[in-house]
Structure 1
Amino acid sequence: MAETSHKQPAEAWITGIGLASSLAEGLDAHWDALAERRVNVDTTSFAPYVVHPLAPLSFDKQIPKKGDQRQMEAWQRIGTYAAGLALDSAGIKGNTEILSRTDMIVAAGGGERDLAVDSAVLSSDDYGNATPGALNERLMNDLRPTLFLAQLSNLLAGNIAIVHGVTGSSRTFMGEEEAGVDAARIALARIAAGQSDIALIGAAQNGERKDLLMLYEFGDFNLKDSYAPVFARGSKGGFALGSGSAFLVIESRAHAEARGAKPYARLTNVVADMSRRRNEGDVTISMQRLWGQLGNVHDDAAIITGATGAQPVTAEEVDFLRAQSGHPVRATGTSFGHIMEAQFPLGIALAALSLSRGALFAANDPSGLEIETSKAPDQIVVIGAGHWRGEGMALVEAVR
């Protein structure tokens, strides 16, 4: 009987990183901001809610056509900008041959509402001026074809394709934080299986939105009145929405080496779960299970978590983290705010950046959960637990 041959999974390298956030744009500026423990927070513009506003960007640098900029809402501009930074970082910006077969996986929410139209419709109805069929008429006449009270979720991927020429296969995942986990998980699985050579993944959010704050206020998730680091928000908790975007170029090692690209890090594994969250401790159990599925995690591996600050999920995540006491922890929500779908890609981006620079960025938390370390990490585990549903982990490793 002939032996069955088993093809080894392709190794996946992270070769491009694009970051635009409340702290800065670009890798050097972000590294400096993290070293300085900088936090950009606004407690007045949307009071009583706390938000992390986007740092100033010159969108012309990555979206040169004003017409393209005008037809995008803020979340699309932010994401398209960061995607361009990632393509630049990977050295494939403008390379039509590679871009034509670069797959794209975007995690996205439902898009931004047109508050002016919403307000006009509600006011007309409130004052008794609405005629039969008035709502349908307003929707047909006041909203652009790309809107359905909000925006189409796949418009970010569409604009990246138009502006940057990324025209391989395209997928858009919805599902808040877990969508960001699945974007990374599916990209890695496709590359490992040889179904894809190179992929652009990521997400974006405009957190400076009254409609979004109202949405999460219905669930009592928003951080109110004053800012505090994620692990110092007490039993009430809450998240501070942030504006920002994280995009990554992930490709097979063979593809990267063939074009002479250098890796920031290796994406070794991504695992996901969705605990029922019916009983206390369900999230802790889910994270313990995921940790066991990651593979060989070293005793001194670092942890970067997208902990939201919302309760009770953050308290259960803290229980898990305290059980991993030998691993230095960093929470992205403290410095960046909570950028929902982009939080997990942000964690992977910061892990790859840290591994490439041979250091973990500074602790920025008074609770004692984050500790300083001078040891250069060779592994970083990225953790994401959604404020309402979904858990995920990624193992990112140094390439020596």
Structure 2
Amino acid sequence: MAETSHKQPVEAWITGIGLATSLAEGLDAHWDALAERRVNVDTTGFAPYIVHPLAPLSFDKQIPKKGDQRQMEAWQRIGTYAAGLALDSAGIKGNTEILSRTDMIVAAGGGERDLSVDSAVLNSEAHGDTPPGALNERLMNDLRPTLFLAQLSNLLAGNIAIVHGVTGSSRTFMGEEEAGVDAARIALARIAAGQSDIALIGAAQNGERKDLLMLYEFGDFNLKHNHAPVFSRGPKGGFALGSGAAFLVIESKAHAQARGAKPYARLSNVVADMSRRRAPGDVTASMDKLWTQLGPLHDNAAIITGATGAEPATAEEAAFLRAHGAHPIRATGTAFGHVMEAQFPLGIALAALALSRGALFPANDPSGLEIETSTAPDQIVVVGAGHWRGEGMALVEAIR
């Protein structure tokens, strides 16, 4: 009797990490900033709102052509820069053969707007003396074609392809925090199924935008007046938008070994849910369910959360975290702000970095949820509950 063969899923390694945030650029600088519990916030430039501004970058280092830089808005420059760092980190920058088959999955928002044009249109409408059709005429005549292109979500992936030559398949997901979860989930699923050998995933945000602050103020999501750690913001809460980008190179173990690449960590599982959020406790229940789907977890596993600070989602996530308080917890929102689509990739990047360094970075929240530990984790669970919709988790494991 012939035996039935069962093909094992392909193991996925994280071989490249690109970080450009409000704290720093690059892995060593980020590790030092986290060790020092550094926080970079602007409390006056967009008062009463709190913003984590981008650390100084020399965009020429990753985007050498000024023409390429000029046709991008800030969020695209930040993302293209971090993508270049990830490719450098993985050792595939400029490798045409590998880049030509590197798949790309980007999580993106709706792009940026021209505030001067928007303001002029709104002022004209407010005066009540605009003829019929004036709005369409102003938008057609005042907006540059390059600006319109900068507002397209898939242009971040397009610019990465142009600047860095990543020309495999390309996907752009929208959907705020959950888009970042799905970028990782789909990349892992494709690699595990043998449909992809190597992928570049990530997201970027320019949080220093008045239009974005206005958008989230309509939902009363913004943190105002004073910065506080994510779990110390009280019942009203709110998030402080951050500028930054996180990109990862993920590839099959066999592909990485064949080219002699050294992994930072293994991406073992990514799970996602979207609870109805109609009754108190829905988010907590969703996260309880996801936790059981991750696979066996060790006693020394740590948790990195992208908790936003916005309520009631953060309070419900905190209830879940307290139930797992034996595991050391770290919240990225305190130091980095909320980078929306990039929050989950940022968590995976920091998890892989911590595992590769054999340590967890220090606690930075006095609420009691974050506790110090001297134990080196060999697993880190990345968790996140979107400020409005969506929950996700990833299991990142050390490779010894």
Q: TM-score, normalised by structure 1?
A: 0.98
Mapped pair 1:376 → 2:342: no
Mapped pair 1:304 → 2:268: no
Farther off after superposition, 3-12 or 24-33: 3-12
Q: Report if the CA contact (8 A) 2:72-2:150 is conserved.
A: no
Mapped pair 1:110 → 2:115: no
Mapped pair 1:320 → 2:357: no
Residues 153-182 of structure 1 show CA distances to partners (whole Å, capped at 9, x for unaligned) of 001000000000000000000000000000
SS of residue paired to 1:260 = coil
Residues 21-61 of structure 1 show CA distances to partners (whole Å, capped at 9, x for unaligned) of 00000000000000000000011000000010000000000
1:224 to 1:149, Cα distance in 2 relative to 1, 3 A: farther
Matches within 5 A, 1:153-164: 153-164=153-164
Q: Report if the CA contact (8 A) 1:114-1:149 is conserved.
A: no
Alignment-derived partner of residue 96 in structure 2: 96
Tell me how far apart the structure 2 counterparts of residues 2 and 182 of structure 1 sit (CA, whole Å): 39
SS of residue paired to 1:93 = coil
Alignment-derived partner of residue 182 in structure 2: 182
Alignment-derived partner of residue 80 in structure 1: 80
Residues 213-263 of structure 1 show CA distances to partners (whole Å, capped at 9, x for unaligned) of 000000000000000000100111000000000000000000000000000
Alignment-derived partner of residue 61 in structure 1: 61
Letter in 2 for 1:309: G
Alignment-derived partner of residue 273 in structure 2: 273
Alignment-derived partner of residue 329 in structure 1: 329
Q: What is the deviation of 1:112?
A: 0.7
Q: Report if the CA contact (8 A) 1:110-1:150 is conserved.
A: no
Letter in 2 for 1:10: V
Tell me how far apart the structure 2 counterparts of residues 352 and 146 of structure 1 sit (CA, whole Å): 37
Matches within 5 A, 1:362-373: 362-373=362-373
Q: What is the deviation of 1:148?
A: 5.1
Alignment-derived partner of residue 132 in structure 2: 132
Tell me how far apart the structure 2 counterparts of residues 325 and 232 of structure 1 sit (CA, whole Å): 16
Letter in 1 for 2:41: V
Letter in 1 for 2:385: A
Tell me how far apart the structure 1 counterparts of residues 332 and 372 of structure 2 sit (CA, whole Å): 15
Tell me how far apart the structure 2 counterparts of residues 45 and 346 of structure 1 sit (CA, whole Å): 25
Alignment-derived partner of residue 16 in structure 1: 16
Alignment-derived partner of residue 339 in structure 1: 339
Alignment-derived partner of residue 352 in structure 2: 352
Letter in 2 for 1:244: G
Tell me how far apart the structure 1 counterparts of residues 366 and 149 of structure 2 sit (CA, whole Å): 42
Letter in 1 for 2:155: L
Tell me how far apart the structure 2 counterparts of residues 42 and 192 of structure 1 sit (CA, whole Å): 42
Tell me how far apart the structure 2 counterparts of residues 198 and 150 of structure 1 sit (CA, whole Å): 27
Letter in 1 for 2:159: N
Q: Report if the CA contact (8 A) 2:71-2:150 is conserved.
A: no
Alignment-derived partner of residue 171 in structure 1: 171
Q: Report if the CA contact (8 A) 1:275-1:283 is conserved.
A: yes
Tell me how far apart the structure 2 counterparts of residues 178 and 11 of structure 1 sit (CA, whole Å): 23
Alignment-derived partner of residue 217 in structure 1: 217
Q: What is the deviation of 1:145?
A: 2.9
Tell me how far apart the structure 2 counterparts of residues 137 and 187 of structure 1 sit (CA, whole Å): 42
Q: Report if the CA contact (8 A) 2:106-2:203 is conserved.
A: yes
Tell me how far apart the structure 2 counterparts of residues 348 and 43 of structure 1 sit (CA, whole Å): 28
Tell me how far apart the structure 2 counterparts of residues 70 and 129 of structure 1 sit (CA, whole Å): 35
Q: What is the deviation of 1:5?
A: 2.2
Q: What is the deviation of 1:3?
A: 3.9
Q: TM-score, normalised by structure 2?
A: 0.98
Tell me how far apart the structure 2 counterparts of residues 229 and 109 of structure 1 sit (CA, whole Å): 25
Tell me how far apart the structure 1 counterparts of residues 205 and 142 of structure 2 sit (CA, whole Å): 24
Letter in 2 for 1:176: E
1:326 to 1:260, Cα distance in 2 relative to 1, 3 A: same
Alignment-derived partner of residue 28 in structure 2: 28
Tell me how far apart the structure 1 counterparts of residues 382 and 259 of structure 2 sit (CA, whole Å): 28
Letter in 1 for 2:268: T
Alignment-derived partner of residue 260 in structure 1: 260
Farther off after superposition, 244-253 or 147-156: 147-156
Letter in 1 for 2:12: A
SS of residue paired to 1:10 = coil
Alignment-derived partner of residue 249 in structure 2: 249
- Count of equivalent residues: 400
Q: Report if the CA contact (8 A) 2:149-2:155 is conserved.
A: no
Residues 192-233 of structure 1 show CA distances to partners (whole Å, capped at 9, x for unaligned) of 000000000000000000000000000000000000000100
Q: Report if the CA contact (8 A) 1:143-1:149 is conserved.
A: no
Q: Report if the CA contact (8 A) 1:114-1:150 is conserved.
A: no
Residues 72-119 of structure 1 show CA distances to partners (whole Å, capped at 9, x for unaligned) of 000000000000000000000000000000000000000111111101
Letter in 2 for 1:98: I
1:150 to 1:280, Cα distance in 2 relative to 1, 3 A: farther
Q: Report if the CA contact (8 A) 1:113-1:149 is conserved.
A: no
Task: Give the % identical residues.
Answer: 89
SS of residue paired to 1:351 = helix
Q: What is the deviation of 1:134?
A: 1.7
Letter in 2 for 1:71: Q
Tell me how far apart the structure 2 counterparts of residues 155 and 134 of structure 1 sit (CA, whole Å): 29
SS of residue paired to 2:179 = helix
Q: Report if the CA contact (8 A) 2:73-2:150 is conserved.
A: no
Q: What is the deviation of 1:4?
A: 3.4
Tell me how far apart the structure 2 counterparts of residues 148 and 155 of structure 1 sit (CA, whole Å): 10
Residues 119-141 of structure 1 show CA distances to partners (whole Å, capped at 9, x for unaligned) of 11112222344233221122222
Mapped pair 1:121 → 2:121: yes
